[in-house]
Amino acid sequence: ETGVTQTPRHLVMGMTNKKSLKCEQHLGHNAMYWYKQSAKKPLELMFVYSLEERVENNSVPSRFSPECPNSSHLFLHLHTLQPEDSALYLCASSQAGGASNEQFFGPGTRLTVL
């Protein structure tokens, strides 16, 4: 595997389910990000991890819970979601303190909440 991978690519869940999104980066980076992309809205930064510590949480509801067990893996745990949480969830990684702050994105998980 190369770059940033995300699983699953598609997920349909009910409002009472618990599920997790997984992201893995194979680039040796030290920062990882979760973004939410909804139709007709700008990209929303949800969480930032640098050196495995959460450094930013942009007022995201507690029904979204991130986990970063090591510098290569990032999870987003989901529970009791709402239909308005349906969106494309993108993971990205970068080398914090690197030359340009360029972020590398995964293909995303398309989440549908029924």
Partner 1 sequence: AQSVTQLGSHVSVSEGALVLLRCNYSSSVPPYLFWYVQYPNQGLQLLLKYTSAATLVKGINGFEAEFKKSETSFHLTKPSAHMSDAAEYFCAVSDDDYKLSFGAGTTVTVRA
Binding site for partner 1 (CB under 8 A): 4, 6, 31, 42-43, 45, 48, 50, 56, 88, 90, 92, 94, 96-108, 110
Is residue 65 within 8 A of residue 73, CB to CB? The reply is no
**Are 26 and 94 in contact, with CB atoms under 8 Å apart?**
no
With respect to partner 1, which residue has the nearer C-beta, 63 or 75?
75
Distance of closest approach, residue 106 Cβ to partner 1, in angstroms: 5
User: Please, what is the minimum distance in Å from the beta carbon of residue 51 to partner 1?
Assistant: 11
Q: Is the dihedral of CA 43, 99, 23, 27 positive or negative?
A: positive
Do you know the residue count of the chain?
114
**Whole-number minimum distance, CB 104 to partner 1, in Å?**
8
Pick between residue 75 and residue 105 the one whose CB is nearest to partner 1. Answer: 105
Q: Whole-angstrom Cα distance, residue 83 to residue 87?
A: 9
Helix (H) or strand (E) holding 97: none
Residue nearer to partner 1 on the CB measure, 16 or 99: 99
